[in-house]
Structure 1
Amino acid sequence: MARKILMPIGDATEVMDTLYPIFRLQEDGYEVVVTGPEARLYHGVMHEIPPDANIPWDITREQPAYHVRATIAFRDVRPEEYFAVLFSGGRAPEYLRYDEHLLAITRHFFEAGKPIAMLCHGVEIPAAAGCLHGRKGTTVPKCALDITQFGGTYVDEDVVVDGNLVSCRGWPQNGPFMGEFCKLLRSVG
């Protein structure tokens, strides 16, 4: 099987959730293919809780960040050509989870038992595809419901490995998250 890993994105993809995994996977020799609703340039965002704000934020603040190019549209993806998938976060999954092509792609990876990674809001896509029933995972606490309301178990840890599924809270855990995902990728081929 080709060493291609699919990464769905859209406008408001979180750049640390997206770019770090792209570069890390390339270091191990994988080709990361970025896909979106259309093949085009997408607006990335940066999410953080400002450390010294005069008025504290209890949720992340969003601001513009780097752009990321998708080279193939969801409707043109042939998931059988991909070794694994990684669902990055940001606000993009909030609207991407309604795309029937992406939901079918997502189901393929779960049904085929291929390596799957999801972080932060990326959990919203597998949840909408009905793929988290009986699975364990983690995400940012505000998205825990996306796991539990679909019959999964939310685990309050930074990184969780459940068979072929590796999940993490968000970009601050990129190091251990990608370490576990790369270990999974090596174990299956």
Structure 2
Amino acid sequence: MSQAKLLMIVGDYAEDYETMVPFQALQMVGHRVDAVCPGKKSGQSIRTAIHDFEGDQTYSEKRGHNFGLNATFEEIDPAEYDGLVLPGGRAPEYLRLNERVLAMVRHFAEAKKPIAAICHAAQLLAAAKCIAGKRVSAYPACAPEVELAGGHYVAVEMTAAVVDGNLVTAPAWPAHPEWLAKYLPVVEAYLAQKG
């Protein structure tokens, strides 16, 4: 397997599992993952939130871990990366107000580089206006934003993922096994055509 250089954009109260699990799993299979947050430097951390499904009408939220950043947002160039990973949680809600974040998301979409987005990360995809005509899964509460951005919201089981070209999306962290399993071949195909 070739090594990809992947960018993960996170923020305070990103979902804990959706941040920690892909960060560790993608490194475990040999990829480099740089985790960045606007306004923070390498060595600093974000606070995460644990979203759980406990029978209520929406998810519950609890304080998660401190997640250490290993790169500095202001110093990175998205052109140097092969793919993008966008965790969900509450962070996308405010990250979508940052024009540089949206420009980065658009870079990956326009260059047809692999993008893995889960749960509320659909808010970033919608705000970046890069999902028109795309089939997108997300946390069900984000369906209106997907549709308003011209995407086609796909309702799937919480353990499933959807692939549309370079975009791999899923509704929430129970989908990690399928979401990451479907993202890896997209990354491999990109690396192969990149040469």
Query: Which TM-score tier does this pair reach, normalised by the shorter chain?
Result: over 0.9
Q: Is contact 1:121-1:139 (8 Å) kept?
A: yes
What per-residue deviation string (whole Å, max 9, x for no partner) do you get for residues 97-122 of structure 1? 00111111111000101000100001
Q: Is contact 2:51-2:59 (8 Å) kept?
A: yes
Question: Partner of 2:49 in structure 1?
Answer: 45
TM-score normalised to structure 2 length = 0.90
| Separation of aligned partners in 1, 2:25 and 2:3 | 18
Q: Is contact 2:114-2:186 (8 Å) kept?
A: yes
User: Share of identical aligned residues, percent?
Assistant: 34
| Separation of aligned partners in 2, 1:69 and 1:156 | 33
Question: Partner of 1:174 in structure 2?
Answer: 176
Q: CA deviation at 1:71?
A: 3.2
Q: CA deviation at 1:77?
A: 2.0
Question: Partner of 2:74 in structure 1?
Answer: 75
Q: CA deviation at 1:66?
A: 1.1
Alignment of 1:18-167 (within 5 A): 18-37=19-38, 38-39=40-41, 40-50=44-54, 57-157=56-156, 158-167=160-169
| Equivalent residues, number | 184
Q: Is contact 2:161-2:169 (8 Å) kept?
A: yes
| Separation of aligned partners in 2, 1:73 and 1:50 | 36
Q: Is contact 2:95-2:101 (8 Å) kept?
A: yes
CA RMSD of aligned residues (A): 1.4
Q: CA deviation at 1:67?
A: 1.0
Give the residue type in structure 2 aligned to 1:29.
G
Q: CA deviation at 1:2?
A: 6.9
SS of the aligned residue for 2:187 comes to: helix
Give the residue type in structure 2 aligned to 1:84.
G
| Separation of aligned partners in 1, 2:3 and 2:103 | 20
| Separation of aligned partners in 1, 2:117 and 2:179 | 9
| Separation of aligned partners in 1, 2:104 and 2:187 | 19
Question: Partner of 1:183 in structure 2?
Answer: 185
Matched, 1:17 2:7: no
| Separation of aligned partners in 1, 2:99 and 2:75 | 12
TM-score normalised to structure 1 length = 0.93
Q: CA deviation at 1:156?
A: 1.0
| Separation of aligned partners in 1, 2:123 and 2:74 | 19
SS of the aligned residue for 2:149 comes to: coil
Give every structure 1 segment of 4 or more consecutive aligned residues whose post-TM-superposition deviation is greater than 4 Å: none
| Separation of aligned partners in 2, 1:75 and 1:150 | 28
Q: CA deviation at 1:75?
A: 3.1
Question: Partner of 1:54 in structure 2?
Answer: none
What per-residue deviation string (whole Å, max 9, x for no partner) do you get for residues 110-141 of structure 1? 01010001000011111101111111110111
| Separation of aligned partners in 1, 2:37 and 2:62 | 21
